[in-house]
Amino acid sequence: MLPEKLKELEAARAKLANLEKSIQNELSKELAALPAKYGFESAADFVAAVAEACGTKLGRKARRARGPGRPPGAKKRRKRAVITDATRAEVKKLVEAGKTGAEIAKAVGISLPSVQNIKKALGLVAKR
């Protein structure tokens, strides 16, 4: 009697393994079809859209997999500012006019840390 029950148990385990495998295959097929179902060209674009909708940021690998295009509605990145002598002169003029660092940054089109670095290099910052 015990050997028969052991055989039944093994048969049930094998059946369970087959069912799990078939469920996994069906799930994989459904997941692979999701991007096309919602109008995305690739799974990476779909994942990027889902991440954006959830308010999370993608990791470096996911951004690289997404490719050169940006998802719709993504913010455009600023180009790196080139600090020239004219920029430094403009910052100096605005500092002497009493403008704040944020106002200067906005007027000149550079970041606040860049304004602070220029002020420091020109000796316009009071030492502690």
**What tens digit of pLDDT does each residue of 85-108 get?**
999 999 999 999 999 999 999 999
**Computed from CA positions of residues 89, 94, 100, 106, in that sequence, does the dihedral angle turn out positive or negative?**
negative
Query: Which residues in the chain come in under a pLDDT of 70?
Result: 57-74
Amino acid making up residue 35 = P
Q: CA-to-CA distance for 11 and 51, rounded, in angstroms? A: 43
Q: What is the domain partition of the chain in residue ranges? A: 25-70, 85-121
- Among candidate residues 30, 34, 64, 65, the one with its CA nearest the CA of residue 50: 34
